[in-house]
């Protein structure tokens, strides 16, 4: 069915506001939003966590009522007639809305019954969906036993049992590895092309914007930009450059460029530093790096993220303050010292080999990345390194100790920042700092000094009395890092350190980590974000419990570089590696 020219847009949002009461305060989650989404296209609702994406999507699906303004979906007023509108939409909530103790088949049956798909049509429809999602071999498996990526595809299949005209996907790619993300996008593209479906998809991954037909950029409850992604990037065309210089390390270079005049944004990209400038003219090396002789500046194509960061900075986003890293407690020796050594590490759960004969080593002052798809074994490896899980075989040493059996003092040399910034939510910022400083055996004057340092360096002074649960995500992340650094550790473990935070907070975070590494702290990080891999000196990519590849990001990308594909991203490299290892998945 070709789009009818006079038909109303798929979604029309006009002056919609919605607020919630949380902990005695009123939070305006969606603040006077006006937007539209055209039929037959993928509209991306893009913004960091807490921007109001989920609330806006629930408003559109008729699950919440707007305080003011009006929303029309396929020409129907959702506020007035939600049931009528809901009959025409499909909606996949966060965490996919699956019943974990039901099997794949049972979940599909349930949604088929609920959507009134006649039994006679189900067979063919299931075949099509199972083929599309690659879930065919797993119909008998409980949904709770599927990997994150498979759950995501099953959730999608359930909402597609009866093909809706309009599909809402709320953060379908969060916590899902790049391979699964790419597969999901392939399915979504297929649906819009062949079934003429309209899709509204929310995400905090900025790189996904480039796959959308149109983008609604959301920040702090407001739409700060609405256009097609090409227009966003066109606005910053000619502003992006790769910079490298001889005789200066990439981290030192990054630090200098980040503070240089005319530079809006600087990020590390493997061996280069990628900068975005205020004006479209190529910057002069003399202004950027006055005392460096051999600086090379090459223009590179703009990315969506460049325009988002430029927009945020223009709205008064804070620039990263210079960071005084703590001197590591017992910093000594040169950069060649091996701090973490893993030999033939194995971990077995029942008959399942979660980690299978893994070996690697990390040198002092290095940022070491542990990458992998869901279920690849990186979290298990990480937990064994921290001493949270005993290995089934092999040896591991952190700073010369096996943390599982080491004296408590050995654990005092490492800092740990858990996923989701695990803090004591009921405690204030100050109480969290006090507790962690004591837990790390600081006392007396030293303890007071370290707490003062944390409040000062992380800008936590003004919020020291605030309950940490109520803090914005960016502050939570800072507090979590401050807690992990109270005792000036030599080694820092970071588990998915920046998922969900906005790009400015992520830059600020990596700025600090860079400074720490420069000061000699060894950093071990697990991550889903392929851009973060660019910050690492050394990477290990895991799949099915084994190491698939190791090296720095340039060498991993170089394997994929061809004439037709001169500048593969880290994500391309990652996916290529995973697919090469498990060709069956690519189907």
Partner 1 sequence: MWHQVFALIVKELLAVLKDRKSRMVLIGPPLIQLMVFGYAATFDLDHVPIAVYDEDQSAASRDLVARFVGSRAFREVASLRSGDEIDALIDSRTVAMVLSIDRRFTRDLLLHRPARVQVIADGRNSNTALLILGYANSIITDFSLAWMQSHGGQTPPTVLDMRARYNPSLSSQWFIVPGIVAVLTQVVTLLVIGLSVARERETGTFDQLLVTPMRPIDILLGKGLPGLLIGGVEATVIILAAILWFHVPLRGSLPALYLGLFLFVAAVTGIGLMISSLAVTQQQALLGAFLFMVPSITLSDFATPIANMPRLIQDLTQANPMRHFLAVVRGVFLEGATAHSLWPHYWPMALVAAASLFAAGWLFRRRVY
Partner 2 sequence: MSGSFGRLRGLLRKEFLQIARDPSALAVAFLLPAFLLLIFGYGVTLDAHDVPIALVVENPDAVTASVTGKFAQSPYFRTSSFATIAEAEKAMDAHAVTGIVWLREDFTRRMLSAGGAPVGVIVNGMDANSARIIEGYLQQTWANWMQARAAERGAPPPLPVAVQQTVRFNPAVSSRDYLIPGLIAMIMTLTGALLTALVIAREWERGTLEALMVTRATIGEILLAKLLPYFLLGMGGMTASVVMAVTLFGVPFRGSLAVLTGTSALFLLAALGMGLLISSLARNQFVAGQIAIITTYLPAFILSGFIFDIGSMPAAVRFMTHIVAARYFVAILQTLFLAGDVWAVILPNALALAVMAAIFLGVARLGARKRLD
Structure tokens that stand for 364 in this block: 């002092």
Task: Supply the DSSP string of 358-410, one letter for each residue.
Answer: EEEEEETT-EEEEEE-TTSSHHHHHHHHTTSS--SEEEEEETTB-TTTS-HHH
Q: Which is nearer to partner 2, 94 or 361 (CB)?
A: 94
Which one of partner 2, partner 1, none interacts with residue 411, CB within 5 to 8 A by kind?
partner 1
DSSP letter string, 138-168: GTTSBGGGS-HHHHHHHHHHHHTSS--SEEE
Using CB under 8 A, list all residues that contact partner 2. Answer: 58, 61-65, 82-83, 86-87, 89-102, 106, 109-116, 142, 158-159, 168
User: Which window, 311-319, 384-392, 530-538, 543-551, contacts partner 1 (CB under 8 A)?
Assistant: 384-392
- Quick one: which of 395, 422, 452, 461 contacts partner 1 (CB under 8 A)? 422
In terms of CB distance, is 2 or 116 closer to partner 2?
116
The least distance separating partner 2 from the CB of residue 432, rounded to whole angstroms, comes to 23
Among 423, 479, 556, 578, binds partner 1 (CB under 8 A): 423
Distance CA 432, CA 426 (A): 9
Closest distance to partner 2 from the beta carbon of 61 (Å): 5
Nearer to partner 1, 3 or 425 (CB): 425
For 484-501, letters b (16+ CB in 10 Å) and e give bbbbbbbbbbbbbbbbbb
State in angstroms the smallest separation of the CB of 481 from partner 1: 13
User: Which of 186, 212, 189, 190 is CA-nearest to residue 201?
Assistant: 212
Give the per-residue SS3 of 474-496: HHHHHHHHHHHHCCCCCEEEEEC
414 binds partner 1 (CB under 8 A): yes
Contact between 100 and partner 1 per CB under 8 A: no
Q: Which two tokens stand for residue 464?
A: 């020291």
Identify the residue among 419, 464, 544, 555 touching partner 1 (CB under 8 A).
Answer: 419
CA–CA dist 220, 223 (Å, integer) = 8
Shortest separation between residue 374's beta carbon and partner 2, angstroms: 19
Which residues does residue 415 pair with via DSSP β-bridges, in sequence order? 492
Shortest distance in whole angstroms from residue 83 CB to partner 2: 7
Measured from the CB of residue 375, what is the shortest distance to partner 2 in angstroms? 21
Q: Which of 416, 509, 510, 535 binds partner 1 (CB under 8 A)?
A: 416
Q: Output the CA torsion 25→171→43→509 (10° steps).
A: 70
Task: Closer to partner 1 by CB, 81 or 100: give it.
Answer: 100
| Binding partner of 90, given partner 2, partner 1, none, CB within 5-8 angstroms per partner class | partner 2
Q: Could you tell which of partner 2, partner 1, none binds residue 86, using a CB distance below 5 to 8 A set by kind?
A: partner 2
- Concatenating the DSSP letter of every residue in 91-115 gives EE-GGGG--TTSBHHHHHHHHHHHT
Q: Cβ closer to partner 1: 443 or 565?
A: 443
Q: Which is nearer to partner 1, 269 or 380 (CB)?
A: 380
**Residue whose CB is less far from partner 2, 116 or 566:** 116
What's the N-to-C CA distance of the chain in angstroms? 29
Count of residues near partner 1 by CB under 8 A: 32
Closest-CA residue to 347 (of 409, 305, 297, 395): 395
339 lines the binding site for partner 1 (CB under 8 A) = no
Among 224, 260, 320, 418, binds partner 1 (CB under 8 A): 418
Q: Which of residues 427-486 bind partner 1 (CB under 8 A)?
A: 427, 431, 434-436, 438-441, 443, 467
Residue 409 CB, shortest distance to partner 1, in Å, is 6
Q: Dihedral sign, CA of 501, 502, 505, 506?
A: positive
- Whether residue 169 contacts residue 199, with contact meaning beta carbons closer than 8 Å, is answered with yes
What is the rounded CA–CA span in Å between residue 457 and residue 519? 16
Which residues are within 8 A (CB) of 22 and not within 5 positions of it... i.e. 6 or more apart?
470
Note the residues at the interface with partner 1 (CB under 8 A): 383, 386-389, 408-412, 414, 416, 418-420, 422-427, 431, 434-436, 438-441, 443, 467, 493
């Amino acid at each position: 069915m070709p789009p009818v020219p006079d038909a109303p847009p798929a979604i029309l949002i006009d002056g919609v506001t919605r607020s919630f009461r949380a902990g005695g305060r009123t939070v305006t989650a969606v603040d006077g939003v006006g937007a539209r989404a055209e039929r037959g296209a993928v509209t991306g609702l893009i913004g960091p966590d807490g921007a109001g994406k989920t609330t806006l999507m629930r408003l559109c699906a008729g699950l919440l009522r707007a305080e003011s303004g009006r929303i029309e979906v396929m020409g129907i007023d959702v506020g007035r007639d939600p049931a009528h509108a809901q009959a025409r939409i499909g909606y996949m909530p966060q965490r996919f809305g699956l019943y974990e103790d039901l099997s794949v088949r049972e979940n599909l049956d349930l949604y088929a019954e609920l959507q009134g798909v006649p039994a006679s049509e189900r067979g063919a429809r299931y075949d099509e969906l199972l083929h599309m999602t690659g879930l065919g071999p797993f119909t008998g498996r409980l949904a709770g036993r599927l990997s994150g990526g498979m759950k995501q595809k099953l959730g999608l299949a359930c909402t597609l049992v009866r093909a809706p005209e309009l599909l809402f996907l709320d953060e379908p790619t969060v916590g899902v590895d790049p391979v699964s993300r790419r597969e999901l996008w392939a399915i979504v593209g297929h649906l819009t092309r062949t079934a003429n479906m309209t899709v509204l998809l929310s995400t905090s991954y900025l790189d996904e914007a480039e796959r959308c037909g149109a983008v609604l950029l959301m920040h702090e409850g407001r739409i700060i930009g609405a256009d097609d992604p090409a227009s966003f990037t066109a606005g910053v065309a000619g502003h992006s450059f790769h910079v490298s210089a001889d005789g200066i390390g990439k981290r030192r270079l990054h630090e200098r460029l980040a503070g240089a005049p005319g530079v809006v944004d600087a990020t590390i990209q493997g061996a280069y530093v990628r900068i975005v400038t205020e004006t479209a003219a190529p910057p002069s090396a003399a202004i950027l790096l006055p005392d460096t002789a051999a600086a090379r500046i090459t223009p590179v194509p703009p990315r969506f993220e460049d325009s988002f960061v430029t927009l945020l900075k223009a709205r008064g986003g804070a620039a990263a303050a210079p960071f005084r890293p703590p001197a590591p407690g017992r910093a000594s020796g040169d950069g060649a010292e091996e701090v973490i050594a893993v030999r033939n590490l194995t971990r077995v759960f029942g008959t399942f080999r979660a980690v299978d004969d893994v070996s690697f080593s990390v040198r002092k002052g290095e940022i070491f990345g542990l990458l992998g798809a869901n279920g690849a074994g990186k979290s298990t490896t990480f937990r064994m390194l921290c001493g949270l899980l005993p290995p089934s075989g092999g040896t591991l040493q952190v700073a010369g100790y096996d943390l599982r059996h080491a004296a408590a003092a050995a654990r005092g040399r490492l800092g740990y920042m858990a996923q989701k910034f695990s803090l004591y939510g009921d405690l204030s910022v100050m109480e969290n700092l006090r507790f962690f400083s004591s837990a790390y055996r600081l006392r007396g004057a030293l303890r007071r000094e370290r707490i003062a340092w944390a409040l000062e360096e992380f800008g936590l002074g003004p919020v020291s009395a605030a309950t940490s649960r109520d803090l914005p995500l960016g502050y939570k992340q800072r507090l979590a890092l401050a807690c992990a650094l109270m005792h000036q550790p030599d080694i820092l473990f970071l588990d998915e350190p920046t998922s969900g935070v906005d790009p400015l907070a992520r830059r600020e975070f990596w700025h600090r980590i860079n400074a720490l590494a420069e000061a000699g702290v060894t950093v071990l990080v697990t991550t889903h974000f392929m851009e973060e891999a660019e910050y690492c000196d050394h990477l290990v990519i895991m799949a099915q419990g084994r190491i698939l590849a190791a090296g720095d990001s340039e060498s991993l990308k170089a394997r994929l570089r061809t004439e037709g594909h001169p500048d593969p991203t880290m994500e391309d490299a990652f996916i290529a590696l995973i697919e090469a290892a498990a060709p069956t998945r690519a189907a």
